[in-house]
């Protein structure tokens, strides 16, 4: 903490080139031709990292105003979200609230109003923090990312995107253009829970659950966790273990298995032990909430 306090965060302590392309194509051309260029959207991760000199890009390409990246659209059985849509715009989106309630619940718990007004969903994903709060819901929904460069578009499952803390498979000449999220499956309950220092802060542990109930038995549970491994993770062995169990059985069995699905570390926000114990508690809470909501299919979040 002391070293943090000695850094002057009033300014970014170095300079760089700044590009504000008018089209996505122009952005892609700059990324291809300018050595060391990096995408910036809201800057709520990147500007902080630059103030601390954790990264020193030679050039920034601002994609935050590109209309081509600023839309939320319901297309048949999925919702497509442009990467430069802000978190607050997602909170205010009827389509997201009604069709992707698990993602809505996560975004609604993120940062502060002032930060949500600038931060984008694309930035949250591309920053590739293990604690990125949009990641667990997107993993549970099985979202696809559209990565675009001058060579064309590649579609990547979000499960293959993250490779380590702050590391993903995106290339420096690529832009995350949009996120395709299958609409919330009918009849499924959902729950996003996180523990952080204050209610809107970055998560120490987060859990997203999606499940269906059939004759009192849990079916097709999908569980994803944040901040408890080098990347956001699906808890596959836990999912398998609670398939077809009653709620009471799942509350007993799930927490035992989840330890094997995660690999938490000690850091400034928490210890590994704390993360492991709280992950079990959050899992229990989330299973119960998702179970109850699945019995109440008409229930949606209040706008």
Partner 1 sequence: MRVRLRVNGSWVEVDVEPHETLLNVLRDRLRIRSVKYGCGIGECGSCTVLLNGRPVTSCLVLAAGLDGTSIETADYLAKTELGTRIVNALLLEGAIQCGYCIPGFLVTIYAALKSGMIRRGDSTEIARAISGNICRCTGYINIVKAVRRVVAELVAIGAD
Ligand X SMILES: Cc1cc2nc3c(=O)[nH]c(=O)nc-3n(C[C@H](O)[C@H](O)[C@H](O)COP(=O)(O)OP(=O)(O)OC[C@H]3O[C@@H](n4cnc5c(N)ncnc54)[C@H](O)[C@@H]3O)c2cc1C
Residues lying near partner 1 in the complex (CB under 8 A): 8-12, 14-18, 20, 40, 42-44, 47-48, 50-51, 60, 62, 64-65, 88, 111-115, 117-118, 198-200
Contacts of ligand X in 112-171 (CB under 6 A): 115, 119-120, 122-124, 126-127, 131-133, 170
Using CB under 6 A as the binding criterion, the count of chain residues that bind ligand X stands at 32
User: Do the Cβ atoms of 251 and 241 come closer than 8 Å?
Assistant: no
Of the pair 40, 81, the CB lying nearest partner 1 is at 40
127 binds, among partner 1, ligand X, none (CB under 5 to 8 A by kind): ligand X
Shortest CB 135 distance to ligand X, Å: 8
- Note whether 38 binds ligand X by CB under 6 A: yes
CA distance 255 to 284: 7
Shortest CB 91 distance to partner 1, Å: 10
With vertex at residue 126, the alpha carbon angle to CA 122 and CA 129, rounded to the nearest 5 degrees, is 120
Burial track 139-159 (b if 16+ CB lie within 10 A, e otherwise): bbbbbbbbbbbeeeeeebebb
Shortest CB 260 distance to partner 1, Å: 35
Using DSSP bridges, classify how beta strands 37-40 and 59-62 pair: parallel, antiparallel or unpaired. parallel
- Note whether 32 binds ligand X by CB under 6 A: no
224 binds, among ligand X, partner 1, none (CB under 5 to 8 A by kind): none
123 binds, among ligand X, partner 1, none (CB under 5 to 8 A by kind): ligand X
- Note whether 44 binds ligand X by CB under 6 A: yes
Contact pattern from residue 184 through residue 223 relative to ligand X, giving x for each residue in contact according to CB under 6 A and a dash for the rest: ----------------xxx---------------------
From 72, 25, 35, select the one nearest 180 (Cα to Cα). 72
The sign of the torsion formed by the CA atoms of 134, 198, 118, 92 equals positive
Alpha-carbon dihedral angle through residues 220, 238, 146, 36, given to the nearest 10 degrees: 170
Burial track 161-177 (b if 16+ CB lie within 10 A, e otherwise): bbeeebebebeebbbbb
């Amino acid at each position: 903490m002391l070293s943090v306090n000695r850094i002057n965060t009033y300014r970014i302590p170095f300079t760089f080139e700044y590009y504000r392309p008018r089209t996505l194509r122009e952005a892609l051309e700059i990324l291809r031709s300018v050595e060391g260029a990096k995408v910036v959207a809201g800057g709520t991760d990147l500007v902080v990292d630059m103030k601390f000199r954790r990264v020193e890009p030679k050039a920034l390409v601002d994609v935050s105003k590109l209309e081509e990246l600023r839309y939320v659209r319901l297309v048949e059985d999925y919702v497509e979200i442009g990467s430069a849509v802000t978190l607050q715009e997602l909170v205010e989106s009827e389509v997201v609230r009604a069709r992707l309630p698990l993602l809505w619940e996560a975004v609604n718990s993120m940062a502060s109003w002032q930060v949500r007004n600038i931060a984008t969903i694309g930035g949250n994903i591309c920053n590739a923090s293990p604690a990125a709060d949009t990641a667990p819901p997107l993993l549970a929904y099985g979202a696809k990312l559209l990565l675009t460069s001058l060579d064309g578009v590649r579609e990547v499952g979000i499960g293959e995107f993250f490779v380590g803390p702050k590391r993903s498979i995106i290339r420096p000449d690529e832009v995350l253009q949009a996120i395709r999220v299958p609409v919330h499956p009918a009849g499924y309950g959902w729950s996003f829970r996180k523990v952080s220092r204050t209610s809107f802060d970055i998560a120490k542990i987060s859990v997203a659950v999606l499940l269906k109930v059939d004759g009192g038995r849990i079916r097709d549970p999908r569980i994803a966790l944040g901040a408890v491994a080098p990347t956001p993770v699906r808890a596959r062995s836990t999912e398998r273990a609670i398939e077809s169990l009653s709620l009471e059985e799942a509350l007993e069995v799930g927490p035992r298995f989840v330890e094997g699905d995660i690999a938490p570390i000690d850091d400034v926000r928490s210890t590994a032990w704390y993360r492991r114990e709280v992950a079990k508690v959050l899992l229990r809470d989330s299973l119960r909430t998702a179970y109850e909501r699945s019995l109440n299919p008409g229930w949606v979040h209040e706008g």
